[in-house]
Amino acid sequence: MFKLNETHSINLISWVESANRAGCDYSIQNLPFAQFRRMNSNENFRGGVAIGDKVIDLAALSLMGVLKGKAQAAAQACTQPSLNEFMAMGVEVWSALRLALSRALRNGSELQDALTICLIPQSAVEYSLPCQIGDYTDFYTSIHHATRVGSLFRPDNPLLPNYKWVPIGYHGRASSIGISGQTFHRPNGQTMVPGAEKPCVGPCKRLDHELEIGIFIGQGNHLGEPIAIENSEDHVFGICLFNDWSARDIQGWEYQPLGPFLAKNFASTISPWIVSLEALAPFRTSFSHPIDDPQPLPYLTSDINSEAGGIDIKLQVFIQTEKMRNDSQEPEKITDSNFHHSYWTIAQMVTHHTVNGCNLRPGDLLGSGTQSGPELAEAGSLLELTVGGKHPITLSNGEKRAFIEDGDSLFIRGNCHRDGAAYIGFGEVVSTVLPAKNNLKHR
């Protein structure tokens, strides 16, 4: 686990003036990674680092030869069309590049002229997925979400007995994960209407968002070699914001006995910037299960996980309906939550995923599962906020939403801030629902 070092100092000032503004997501203490190119160009996508309202072109920087050693090797790896090679290089290399960039971006740096040439306005770039995502696993780490949803699907048995013992997860579909800005058609699928004698097929009527964080694996492990919890975070490249779209009516019909399938694999959306665990070191929190709950088994326990396994990441969800967009109305907040409510930590997710010998690879993605807090206003899905659609929310313009409608855009934003630490932002992830493609024979 990363300890505080010179890159976290709240006193650091960058010569990139926009990075010093209060509330700037991409301060000099952040330095997240993405894959980008100039908008509407035929350039290759390559690695970049956010600083203020600019992107550092790491491919251009690597050609200048001003970085040395591991930092230069890292920048060279970021010239590729995905970050997989850089992710595979490991924590020492990631940290070396972060330190070199931090020093080069500080006021008085001798490298200011060199880096200035490598800066591109964020307003002039577009993003791709940061890496080739080989596998995607979605966890279920919010006990508040699990209990509320369980009460809707299984009123007599909302929280299954294994939940407090096992970091529950399922393997999702990597091919339908898109970058922020993703648009997708409302999914068609098979549902069973209450009281009907047989299922029907047609457009989903209970489309929902899920407020999650995404966890990118860096260095992997060999098949058959589990990752110990003490070492698990060394295998995590960083985290992003994640909206795991869900078709609740399809899910309700298909999920037993094998869990989610078509209800979850039609679209998921991630934010472009990956924030390193090193950048989040000032926001670590203690972790524990309630004293009356089962305590984690030994392989899921360590002193450092108990002392600082949690992360204080503030999360918000906003909605902008088509009418709001047409009326030039800004997105409206519907949820405030926090990742520190998670029942399982990132370290525990990684460790449990590999306890059977499963091999993780650079670029693999773990979803945290919907991040809901103890209060209903902290719910990370409309399924919870509207109590299964029974109590629609009313927006400021008078529109009501039980579930997501065609034309709606969902925004997820996240940040970390506290006294004595610099503000760290994740940017946002936004995606928009289009009408279903009506090319099925409905019956």
Q: Which amino acid is at 380?
A: G
Architecture of domain 136-434: Alpha-Beta Complex (3.90)
Q: State the catalytic residues.
A: 145
Distance from CA of residue 255 to its chain's centroid? Answer: 24
Q: DSSP strand E in 194-285: where?
A: 200-203, 207-208, 211-217, 236-244, 246-247, 268-270, 284-285
CA distance 205 to 191: 10
Residue 358, CB-side half-sphere exposure with 13 Å CA sphere: 14
Q: Name the DSSP class of 30.
A: T
8 A C-beta contact, residue 222 and residue 243: no
Q: What is the dihedral of CA 196, 199, 204, 205, to 10 degrees?
A: 0
Residue 39: its pLDDT value, please? 96
Residue 134, CB-side half-sphere exposure with 13 Å CA sphere: 11
CA distance 334 to 332: 6
**CATH number of 6-128: 2.40.170.20, 2.30.30.230, 3.60.10.10, 3.40.640.10?**
2.30.30.230
CA distance 204 to 247: 6
**DSSP codes, 230-242:** TTGGGGEEEEEEE
CA distance 116 to 109: 11
Residue 2: its pLDDT value, please? 83
Dihedral class, residue 259 (left if φ above 0, else alpha if ψ from -120 to 50, else beta): left
Sequence ranges of the domains in the chain: 6-128, 136-434
What is the token pair recorded at 321? 């309906």
Residue 297: its pLDDT value, please? 98
pLDDT tens for each residue of the chain, 443 residues long: 788 999 999 999 999 999 999 999 999 999 999 999 999 999 999 999 999 999 999 999 999 999 999 999 999 999 999 999 999 999 999 999 999 999 999 999 999 999 999 999 999 999 999 999 999 999 999 999 999 998 987 888 889 899 999 999 999 999 999 999 999 999 999 999 888 889 999 999 999 999 999 999 999 999 999 999 999 999 999 999 999 999 999 998 988 888 889 999 999 999 999 999 999 999 999 999 999 999 999 999 999 999 999 999 999 999 999 999 999 999 999 999 999 999 999 999 999 999 999 999 999 999 999 999 999 999 999 999 999 999 999 999 999 999 999 999 999 999 999 999 999 999 999 999 999 997 666 44
H helices within 128-262, ranges in order?
143-153, 248-254
